[in-house]
Amino acid sequence: MDHLGTQPLQTGRLVLRRFTVDDAEVMFGNWASDPEVTRWLRWNPHRSWVETAEYLHEVTKQYGRPDFYDWAIQVRASGVVIGSISLIRAEPDPAWAAACRKLGEAWEPGYCIGRKWWSRGYATEALCAVRDYWFDQVGGQWLCCCHANDNVASGAVMEKAGFRYHHSGVSHRFDGTEVPCRFYALLKGMNP
């Protein structure tokens, strides 16, 4: 595997690019402040665009790392940033132990889209772009992901991108709160 970091990606309708601090007001307004969007995420809604700017300042400092992956999701036609997608090292999970021994470290995509753009296929399109980048450019052998049991829409996105249900378990929000989840995996070469 050859980590390449957050490189620009394009799909038919989207541009996936690095965030800048200038994205703070749009990120705050389009999804980071919305409790309906963030209720399934590991972090709480932002209270102000300043909090979002502070977060993006920290993100932009990480872009020099080859193992850091965090993209803004931008609609090509309008130029509007509507969400984010990232790849992070997965939480340790005994259910992944055999796969990690055979295929290497577990990496997990995470994504969110502003509510105004739900049900248009944008999350699936972004996830497929990141999946292909991971397998074809970075050389990763597999990906895992999970969604809160009640967030069935996210499970549908994962399945459309080729991920298959593996097991049920618990993930954690950044504050340590346990969240019952369904876990999925995708191996390189599996037919999405």
CA atoms within 13 A on the CB side of 32: 22
pLDDT tens readout for residues 89-126: 998 888 888 888 999 999 999 999 999 999 999 999 99
Q: In the chain, what is the straight-line distance between the N-terminal and C-terminal CA atoms, in Å?
A: 21
Compute the distance between CA of residue 169 and CA of residue 10 in angstroms, rounded to an integer: 33
Q: Give residues with Cβ within 8 angstroms of 97, minimum separation 6.
A: none
pTM above 0.85, yes or no: yes
The gap from C-alpha 188 to its chain's centroid, in whole angstroms, comes to 18
pLDDT tens readout for residues 124-174: 999 999 999 999 999 999 999 999 999 999 999 999 999 999 999 999 888
9-187 is a CATH 3.40.630.30 domain = yes
Q: How far is CA 175 from CA 1, 43, 148, 171, in A?
A: 31, 8, 16, 11
